[in-house]
Amino acid sequence: MIRKHFAGFVASALALAVSAQAFAGTVTTDGTDIVVKTKGGLEVFTTDKEYSFKLGGRIQADFDQFQGFYTANNNSANEAYFRRAILELTGNYKDWRYVFNYDFANGQANNGAGGVGGSGTNGSGSNNWDEASIAYTGFSPITIKAGRFDPDFGLQHATSSKWTTFIERAAIYDLAPWVNNKQDDMGIQVSGVTGGMFYGSTGIYQQETSTGELESNNGMDVNSFVARGVFAPIVSETEVLHFGADFAQRNYDDGRYQGSITSNIGVRGISEDSTNNTPTPVFAKTATNRFYTDDQVMGLEAAYMTGPLSIETEYLHRGLSGQDSNGDRDATGYTAQVAYTLTGESRSYKLDGGKFDSIKPLNKSTGAWEVFYRYENLAVKDDNNLSGASLTSTTGIDKSKATLNVIGVNWYANEAVKLSLDYLVTSTDSDTLALQAGLNSNETTNSSRKATGADDEDGQAITARLQYLF
């Protein structure tokens, strides 16, 4: 499917190029002069910036090799797939700005973490719109945006997938993926920059699932509120100091939401073939006749960059309030990372959006080289149990946890091509392994998983990506 669509696009582009050569001549306008750029896609805009049009995109081809906890039998497995293949169309008509991004990767980018219970999205990859939004900028410095787009929660998620340091964003987001997942969401967001050091956004999103799990008893979709505030007292080309806070809230009717929590723990490929590999790791199972009514998520973020060195850390806490006599469920995660550009480049930063952006190689022949390390800790607790057993069960699991260490290297060959290689080591405990096996206690785990040689609480993976931007 990907080859078919891109073949058509390439053929059209070639035809346009041939036509341009055949009918070359003078181009005139009856108004403001037009500028045409072909570096990094096709961009056309008027010199007064009143009108613009840009066509570009990104292709991200991934390969994952993984073993241990990441597979059903602890043996080695691998997957190769297109993580993203996005055609991007952006522009503006005076104070109106539009973004239409379509992912030709057949939804592979949407598989995996969260599922129906975890993310509040259908998880099927049935909708390939990466973004479809219209924004009004006439109330500067305030921007009002509506359509389908990511809610604004967290520093790493604010940064485009084109420029994230690691191949996958922090796994702590999997603990509450609905706070930045727009697969079947429609929303409206107000954001703005003020004082040269403050950025804020607040939005309301209508979220749904293919199963109708999040709908109210009257058939209404759940409404989510997401807000983010950033304070950046230092912003320059070579130094950035960033602080941020995030908040998200949504509520469910009685008997609707059962609160499962899952995560790929940094390896997207394990969800690409769940028949032969391990299904997405489970931190909290859907419980029979147990429901939750309130869902609240809070986050903190901080970063400092000086020259080629950058440090980032984030914290996330999610609290699910149990319905009636059911206990509460809490998820907590934190991550810290450090990156260093060996060739001396600094990461660019945009206060509008509170996010890091591209690294542009200083040496066009050798490119830019970046090394990095990240640590993550994820934990889920339940007042009753996480296994899905009844409230009176004596074999229930009250806590699951995992840690993740990642080291890697990025080579920015030029402004269009980036190659990435990450090495991951994850560690869990016997209770998390039991949930992974679909069991209710670690006592049962030891006999059943050891019988098949699948009792490894640790896992390792190597992930690689080739990215091309146009």
What is the model's pLDDT at position 116?
A: 30
Q: Work out the pLDDT band at 438, boundaries 50, 70, 90.
A: low
| Token pair belonging to 380 | 């889920």
Options 2.40.160.10, 3.20.20.140, 3.30.830.10, 3.30.390.50; which CATH number does 41-469 get?
Answer: 2.40.160.10
The rounded distance, in Å, linking the Cα atoms of 103 and 101 is 7
CA distances from 168 to 108, 171, 263, 286, 418 (A): 14, 8, 12, 26, 14
Tell me which DSSP letter residue 41 carries.
S
Domain locations in the chain? 41-469
Q: What is the pTM of this model?
A: 0.85
Tell me which DSSP letter residue 344 carries.
-
More confident residue, 318 or 214: 318
Question: Is-contact 87 468, C-beta < 8 A?
Answer: no
Whether 123 shows a pLDDT value over 60: the answer reads no
CA quadruple 240, 54, 90, 123: dihedral, nearest 10: -90
- Helix H or strand E encompassing 272: none
What is the model's pLDDT at position 433?
A: 74
62-85: pLDDT as tens digits: 999 999 988 877 888 899 999 999
Whether 323 shows a pLDDT value over 80: the answer reads yes
